[in-house]
Structure 1
Amino acid sequence: MNRTLIRGATVITMDALGDLPCADVLVTDDKITQIAPKIHADGALLIEASGCIMIPGLVNAHMHTWQTALRGLAANWTLLEYFQKMHAGLATVFEPEDLHIATLVGALNQLNCGTTTLVDWCHNNKTPAHNDAAIAALLESGIRAAFFHGTPKPDPKPGEQPFWAVPHPRTELERLLKSYQGRELLNVHAAVLGPHYSTLDVALHDFQMIKALGIVGSLHQGGGVARTPEGWIQLEAAGLLGEQINIVHGHALSDAQLQRFCDLGMSFSVAAENEMTQGHGYPITGRLRRLGKAPSLGVDLESVMGGDLLTQARMALGMQRSLDNFEYRLVHDSIPPTSTVSTREALQWVTVEGARMLGQLHRIGTLAVGKQADLVLIRSDDLNMQPVHDPVNTVVMQTTLANIDSVMVAGRWKKRQGRLLDVVLAPKLAALQASGKKIVSGLGWVVPGF
């Protein structure tokens, strides 16, 4: 039995205990076993955390980690350019080793930024070897991961069916479930096309598969005209919608559809910064809030922006406040009397709601006795953080990567005192750079300075 006593932090539990100005947290093996103002635990490893704010480990609810070696390359692309240049272009030259190094470095960076659970939405996996390489990287990184098995989206070659007419490869998904499901820090789910990007027959096949296998099914919604506009009606009529379905983005859904999906318990993951950058439309955060629901948040694409999830919380919060403020001014011709969205809600989006999306809120997403010891220590005595008047405000609005001191996953420190543990980064970064250069040059592209 291993015990760690973390002493004297300001603890934001996001749970029934609320916020504790100065408290101790006892971790036994992989679980939180006590949270109290003062804990005596003889023999436990003592970690002094005065000057720190403790929060639950962040949950990145949507990220295409295979694009880590292409960081920044797509920063000026719209969604249409991204479809053509990424999925029909760069993605086609990825080998298993490219997925491995991108996923490994991407996952390590998530740990470095305070993310303890990563939803890896992998849709550039044309062979079983690609899937195994990506999963091996997640396991090597030590992050808690949900591998969402997707499918590539190249332009069809002569004589081939287009990707939108091909059912999800159930046999391969079942192989992955048999091989990996139930690992300590890994779960396998399905990243399907959904009715916006597939034929009705494919959507029905994929949603029936999700229900039969008892896993979460996640899909993109939005980005142009739907291939099967009536698909959602058919899927609901077949009894295939419910808590197991996660919609990413959610654009092009009517108010009536959104209401119905919320009533059915479906979850929604927003990628606010990328949605604004690439032309998806305004994030649906406010539309969900009006229905009494909350989104989870994801980084989405490191080929476009950085991987810091707290930045995504700020972006989503700022955009929704801006929309609400603008709407109020149109009606009342004055500045609103107060903000519509709180920083606590934004922190909930990157903790509680991500856990809920995965069906894991009983295990992660908050700090509570009996839950997994996934937690983050943030240096609140740093130059950019002082003075702390409200710890939640400080976490959401002031914190940067430089303040992420320590990260624990399932009772194991993955980062301490500002440094990742048990990893030598230099050779991995060299391999990532080589992979990125190979991928870009494989299409005859020349990137200045690359």
Structure 2
Amino acid sequence: MLVAFGMTLAGPALAQERAHEPLYVTVDLGVSGAVADPVEDQFEIGGAGAVGMYYALIPELALGGEVLGGALAEGHRVPQDPVDRGVADFGLMSASLRIYPFASLMAAHTDHRSAGFYLQASPGVALFDGEVVPGYAAAAGYDIPLGPITIGPKFRFMHFIETHGRFGDSDPLVITGAVEVAFLDAREPVAEPEPFDAANAPPAELDLVPVAMSAEPLPSIEMGPNPALRVDQRAYFDFDEVTLRPEAEQELDLVAMHYGKFGDRYERLIVEGHADDRGHHGYNEPLSAARALAVVRYLVGAGVPLEAMEVRAFGESDPLTTAQDTPLAHQINRRVQVEVVWNDALRPPGEMPEPDPTLPARIDPADDEDDRPGRAERLLEEQRRALAEVIGQDVHIAIRDVGEARGLRRVEIQTASDSVARR
């Protein structure tokens, strides 16, 4: 019955994930005396000791067993019981339930499960003066942490239910004042569930806040596509313009967020500027470089270091689509692409997902195909000055043919404090 009561109280907590709590042990030793006539006259002060073992079902409740034994010294004969009984031995083997009403408060100060005030109930099989009888004990105590143990006072009341009428109409009642020591009761750490890692979600689901964050553990992916692997954001531009659209800034916010989480795992972040095929290459090349610089300037302002980026300008030489000479095709080709090259030793696990780039939110149907002499160079100079203002020092821009692919030019950015071309 006691076990059923304890399990009923602890049931909801046991349904939760908890660390294994091993058994802990208690030992007490004290002075005992009878408190009911005629037994208190027949026996003098004696002593008792007990050993218990408990399992903490929840912090407030422990279930276990206890074995105690003791003796009362010889007293006087009484009229109710003329037998000279001498020394009275007593004992109790019981199931035991402990309640710690202030366990939550104590947990903030100690790892000992037995620490603090407790109440104890222990029904079982008893022995008194050589006879086996039913019995129970009730106790209260307060254990104080002391290094690897707890120690404290304990008061126990024992009731031996007399079945043979040896002591008249009375049952032997015994009280004990003792000192209890508990050990092996250190609380084991509770294993917390593994937190959800936002990197496991596609970039489009991330909060668009361009802040630099410390690197977080990569999601554990045994196989299959890992969304954290691909950064394929694109910024689209109006005809002959380098101004970032609002939806382009949102795409770049995602890039800054990804860098904040995983930038220390990048080899580099590539920023590629492109133009459509209207106009000659000598005009489109600085125009695509100016568009790439507009993206670099925004990313630097969002927390991505300038030295982490490699900037490229393709002009019109690398279109995404050549199927049709339409406003939509021209709009798709007027773009800046941002991609990640991972450090091989730090690359996240999993497979690279299929590309899923965003499409232009709107189409600028500009039909003016005439070059405006000098405009592309002026736009590039405006972006150079804007970048210098963001980083707080002058910059020099050089567009160089690196011979790696047809039409590819590398945009080298040098600051006043850095004379080495950045990759």
Q: TM-score, normalised by structure 2?
A: 0.18
Higher fraction of helix: 1
Q: TM-score, normalised by structure 1?
A: 0.17
Higher fraction of strand: 2
